[in-house]
Amino acid sequence: MATLDQLYARIILDTNRDDMGPGGELEQALIDAVADAIERHAGELFWFNRASGAAATVPGTATLALPAGMRIARVVTWLGAPLPKVPLETIQAAEDPAAPVVGPPALWAEDEGLIHLHPVPDAAHALAVHGIAELGVPATANAWTEAAYNLILNEAKALLCRGPLRDVEGLQLAMGGRDEALTRLRRETRRRGDAAPRTDLPAPAAANIVAG
């Protein structure tokens, strides 16, 4: 199981640049490249960054925060069935601040990192949320330095070769390695299947009164 420090060391070895080590002129460039490499892929669902959590609506409040540790919500369920996801503009067009529609949750949309429900909740409803975890850059190690080691290794090298190293050949090799690693991760994710509930199921019957 690789650690963040081992990932740094491998990049320094592969690029033959000791100036990216501790105290070196390009140390911060290395740190930033790994962080940027992780951020580039943090919004994609892999088997190792799936997340599930619970959330509860607040009566009279249309938005609620994602469960702790979740970066992106992909499926929101109520009473065991997925709620249809729609563009935020669809919900905003249906809202009337002067006379808000109130009731159990029927639709949801992303709203700047929040879950935006329609209608405005009439009670404290328990929701289950499934999505992508916010793993971030580890202090020592996490799935990015372990399961996705080759992806982050090559993405970071590509960023460095494109940037401060100005290494065209190294860039091409790193991009090839990145693409191969990404293909393997996506294949493994498909093999393991989608752990989130299906989204093609009908909404709970109690919510259908506002679905149109």
* Domain of residue 128, residue span: 47-133
Judge if 121 and 104 occupy the same domain. yes
Are residues 44 and 181 in contact, defined by beta-carbon separation less than 8 angstroms?
A: no
Residue indicated by tokens 């971030």: 136
- pTM here? 0.86
Judge if 61 and 129 occupy the same domain. yes
Cis peptide before 204 (omega within 30 of 0): no
Q: What is the DSSP letter of 197?
A: P
pLDDT band, very low/low/confident/very high, at 209 (cuts 50, 70, 90): very low
Judge if 128 and 165 occupy the same domain. no
Rounded Cα gap, residues 79 and 155, in angstroms: 41
In this predicted structure, the answer to whether residue 170 has a pLDDT above a threshold of 80 is yes
pLDDT, residue 208, reads 35
Q: Which uninterrupted H or E stretch holds 37?
A: helix 27-41
Q: How is residue 55 written in tokens? A: 């959330």
Judge if 109 and 157 occupy the same domain. no
Q: Which amino acid is at 53?
A: G
Judge if 175 and 125 occupy the same domain. no
Mean pLDDT throughout 20-27? 97
pLDDT, residue 196, reads 52
Kindly give the pairing relationship between strand 102-103 and strand 120-121. parallel
In a domain, 197, yes or no: no
In a domain, 29, yes or no: yes
Q: Which amino acid is at 149?
A: Y
Mean pLDDT throughout 101-110? 96
Judge if 126 and 55 occupy the same domain. yes
Tens digits of residue pLDDT in 58-70? 999 999 999 999 9
Least-confidence region, from 20-29, 136-145, 197-206: 197-206
In a domain, 209, yes or no: no
In a domain, 210, yes or no: no
pLDDT, residue 194, reads 59
Q: Which amino acid is at 200?
A: D
Rounded Cα gap, residues 19 and 30, in angstroms: 10
pLDDT, residue 212, reads 35
pLDDT band, very low/low/confident/very high, at 168 (cuts 50, 70, 90): very high
Mean pLDDT throughout 118-139? 97
Domain count, the chain: 2
Judge if 129 and 170 occupy the same domain. no
Judge if 38 and 59 occupy the same domain. no
